[in-house]
Structure 1
Amino acid sequence: MGTTDATTGHEPAISTVRREIAGARSIVVKIGSSALTDLHAGLAVDRLDRLADALESRMAAGTDVIVVSSGAIGAGLAPLGLRRRPTDLATKQAAASVGQLALAHAWGTSFARHGRTVGQVLLTAHDISRRSHHANAQRTLDRLRSLGAVAVVNENDTVATDEIRFGDNDRLAALVAHLAGAQALVLLSDVDGLYDGDPRKGGATLIREVGGPEDLDGVVAGSGGALGTGGMASKLSAARLAADAGVPVLLAAAESAAAALGSADVGTAFAARPARMSARRFWVRHAAETRGRLTVDDGAAAAIARRASLLPAGVVAVDGTFGAGDVVEIVGTDGALRARGVTAYDADEVGQMVGRSTSSLPEGLRRAVVHADDLVAAR
């Protein structure tokens, strides 16, 4: 595992990944529900103000900052007289409709103390999964930054459904970090980092840095709390997603926001993969909504692992309704995910091609089912 506090008994020297995060000229900062809201009192304005002050210090130093803010549902509970986070979709959406208004107003009021204008950007999973919407969201964020406004992003809980939700704003933040071309992602919540066990039970050690998947062997992450849908499992997944896309990540406590956004010498830092993934490949792997599934034989699965195109002869089954240009999952005969890719044909056409050699097909069906350039192998 990475170097831990327990190893030395004092703060380790600032590492390369922490210097990258501290020196990043564009960052996405995700703030969890528990850092902004109280179950009984609603929005905690004093905490929000302290966070805005820390964000302003980073922006004043010359960094572009996009805020991904949770808390809409939590902010709507107290005004509606709800004593706990609802479990049914309609009540969640009702709470969000009240809370989003309060949350946007609070961020606007807080940043106004520094002469900043806030723009609210509400996204759904559909906005990220469809390429045209994805590009529109990117242009909106870029234009807000060019105009000197602070973009505050949230999932549009008032219209999102259980079927199309991001699942939590941690994943949304990781997607936005890549969408906006950010150089770092900072996840702030009520936890001060990643531990090798449950810190509430004692005996757990803080993992200072994660250089790769091997540093996570044996780590058990839990689910969310009373106010949010995240939890450590969500944050760990988001951190790995962003790092895989070439974006270094810092996971820290919101109460340490000043240090996290300054020297970055707190919490857990996740190193990014050496080469940033292209926008298209990232979209195929992480953001696109899949429309169907292709099952392939062992030979095709091995070819895919070598970054070869998927040919008709290797396909053994087709599931779902999809068109040419849609993203599909590619699985082995054991059901394990092998890749995701953009299919060159619709489902009916692929159905006619199953198991056939390219030379035996009509002239118009002799291309690869999924070309290597449109294929992203599973990790």
Structure 2
Amino acid sequence: MGTEAVLRAAVAQARRVVVKVGSSSLTGPGGGTIDEARLVALVGHLAAVRARGGEAVLVSSGAIAAGLGPLGLATRPRDLATQQAAASVGQGALVAAYARAFAHHHLTVGQVLLTADDVTRRTHYTNARRTLTRLLDLGIVPIVNENDTVATHEIRFGDNDRLAALVSHLVGADALVLLTDVDALYDGPPSRAGSSRISAVLRPEDLAGVEIGGTGSSVGSGGMATKVESAGIAGAAGIPTVLSRLADAGHALAGEDVGTVFAPQARSRASRQLWIAHATTPRGRLVVDEGAVTALTKRRTSLLPAGIVEVQGTFTGGDPVDVCAPDGRAIARGLVNYSSGELPHMLGRSTHELARDLGAAYEREVIHRDDLVLL
């Protein structure tokens, strides 16, 4: 059996699978209403996973799209406040539709709304994982979405493809299935004559020369580029991914030759590293000297104030920041222990000196190595 066939068989046999569906796949032609037939069909495929003894987590877009019609909007709004209003109206309708559809299969759903902040700060991350795990233990089908009603630009995942990849790692999934309105990844625009379907991406080099487009829908926020990125995030956690269209969801979950399957990496990242690298948006930058670059990249040390030469941006303790080499290249990302107001007074000084002059609370790292990931 070839590598691709092994990967597809792993998806079919997955004990726990995360399925993500996009807005354009769930809504009608105008994008402002939920297409109940499509939603019911998707639920049927997930119920089949449960029937064979597996577990399913659904990451569903569609809340904003479902709220457009009731609000009298023709297209997805650009401003955050109106997006939040649409999500508030649409989220209830979306989950109610799922609850009705799953009830026909004697299954109960549970809604889980997340922001990036919920899964990057240590205590929030633990709570999110515990909640999802308990829902699965109780036989509930979790329906996950970004909390669009409260998320700000600074604490957003940006699209549910990335959220789905991160949730896959959060719940220890065995496979990720990304459902969209395109049947697979192609080596060029699917509408262009001569473009060919890529059935498998077994290594990063397989994507060399592939033209990957952006958002293809008026109601969605993702695109093919985000889906490929998300497959890479899942792959970093050792999870295979299948990209396919909603109409082929059953075939994809059964391990058949549809869509594109992405192989995971041989070595997977630890959970904290994966989330810090991919679930965070940096609030600032810390420029360090060459000695600190060597210490961080070669010896995998914590970041100390003595190696920092410049502080950029505005942030508070616990926020994610990028650590940059003297040439401006980001070499790491981590959760900082000090605010941007405190740090300028600490640059170039040892922790012992700071503790002597400012108090014992300052005898700690700027970023602890457990909260730091190399990029």
Q: Could you tell me the TM-score, scaled by structure 2's length? A: 0.89
Query: Which digits, 9 at most, give the CA deviation of each residue in 1:307-335, with x for residues without a partner?
Result: 43234443221234555554321011222
Matching of residue 241 in structure 1 with residue 233 in structure 2: yes
User: 328, 332, 337: which one pairs with 1:339?
Assistant: 332
CA contact (8 A) 2:236 2:267 kept: no
Indicate whether 1:79 and 2:70 are aligned.
yes
Q: How does 1:76-225 map to 2 (within 5 A)?
A: 76-224=67-215, 225=217
- 1:317 equivalent in alignment to 2:321: no
Q: Which moved more, 1:36-45 or 1:24-33?
A: 36-45
- Residue 6 of structure 1 aligns with which residue? none
Deviation at 1:46, TM superposition (A): 0.8
- SS of the aligned residue for 1:138 comes to helix
SS of equivalent residue, structure 1 residue 15: helix
Is 1:261 aligned to 2:258, yes or no? no
Aligned partners of 1:210, 1:73: CA distance in 2, in Å? 32
* Structure 1: gaps (5+ residues): 1-11
Q: Which secondary structure state, in structure 1, belongs to the residue aligned with residue 70 of structure 2?
A: coil
Q: What secondary structure, in the 3-state scheme, does the structure 2 residue paired with 1:295 have?
A: strand
CA contact (8 A) 1:297 1:333 kept: yes
2:285 to 282, 288, 293: 293
CA distance in 1, matches of 2:277, 2:4: 32
User: Which of 15, 18, 27 matches 1:28?
Assistant: 18
Which residue does the alignment assign to 1:3? none
Determine if the alignment matches structure 1 residue 58 to structure 2 residue 55.
no
Q: How far is 1:159 from its partner?
A: 2.2
Q: Which moved more, 1:141-150 or 1:318-327?
A: 318-327
Query: Matched residues in 1 for 2:147 and 2:211: separation?
Result: 30
**Structure 1 residue 367 displacement after superposition:** 5.8
Q: In the TM superposition, what is the alpha-carbon distance from 1:13 to its structure 2 partner?
A: 7.9
Are the equivalent residues in 2 in contact too, given 1:52–1:110 (CA < 8 A)? yes
- Flag the 1:317–1:149 CA change in 2: closer, same or farther, 3 A: same
- Further displaced range: 42-51 or 12-21: 12-21
1:212–1:271 Cα contact (<8 Å) kept: yes
Moved more, 98-107 or 294-303: 294-303
**How far apart in 2 are the matches of 1:17 and 1:261?**
12
Q: Which moved more, 1:358-367 or 1:244-253?
A: 358-367
**Which is worse superposed, 12-21 or 197-206?**
12-21
Q: 1: CA distance between counterparts of 2:352 and 2:92?
A: 60
Q: Does 1:69 align with 2:54?
A: no
| Bigger Cα displacement from structure 2, 259-268 vs 348-357 | 348-357
Q: How many angstroms apart in 2 are the aligned matches of 1:255 and 1:78? A: 24
In 1, distance between residues paired with 2:351 and 2:126? 35
Q: Separation in 1 of the partners of 2:341 and 2:154? A: 25
**Cα distance change on mapping 1:346 and 1:249 into 2, 3 Å:** same
In structure 2, the partner of 1:377 is 374
- Structure 1 stretch displaced more, 355-364 or 189-198: 355-364
Aligned to 1:5: none
Match of 1:284, SS state, is: helix
Q: Percent identity among equivalent residues?
A: 52
Q: Does residue 329 in structure 1 map to residue 322 in structure 2? A: yes
1:197 Cα offset (Å): 1.1
Question: Aligned to 2:258, what secondary structure does the other structure show?
Answer: coil
Tell me: CA distance 1:123–1:359, structure 2 relative to 1, closer, same or farther (3 Å): closer
Partner of residue 272, structure 1: 264
Q: Does structure 1 retain, via aligned residues, the 8 Å contact 2:10–2:255? A: no
Deviation digits for residues 284-328 of structure 1, max 9, x if unmatched?
222245443210123432443324323444322123455555432
Superposition RMSD on alpha carbons, in Å?
A: 2.5
**Partners in 2 of 1:177 and 1:139 — Cα distance?**
14
CA shift, 1:270, in A, is 1.3
1:33 Cα deviation after fit: 0.9
Q: Secondary structure at the match of 1:17?
A: helix
- Structure-1-length-normalised TM-score: 0.88
The alpha-carbon deviation at position 374 of structure 1 amounts to: 3.5
Task: State the distance in 1 between where 2:227 and 2:175 align.
Answer: 15
Secondary structure in 1 matching 2:269:
coil
* Aligned-partner Cα distance in 2 for 1:293–1:342: 11
After TM superposition, give the deviation of residue 272 of structure 1 in Å. 1.3
SS of residue matched to 2:344: helix
Count of residues paired in the alignment = 367
Given that residues 39 and 84 in structure 1 are in contact (C-alpha distance below 8 angstroms), is that contact kept between their aligned partners in structure 2? no
Secondary structure at 1:127's aligned position in 2? helix
* Match of residue 27, structure 2, among 14, 23, 37: 37
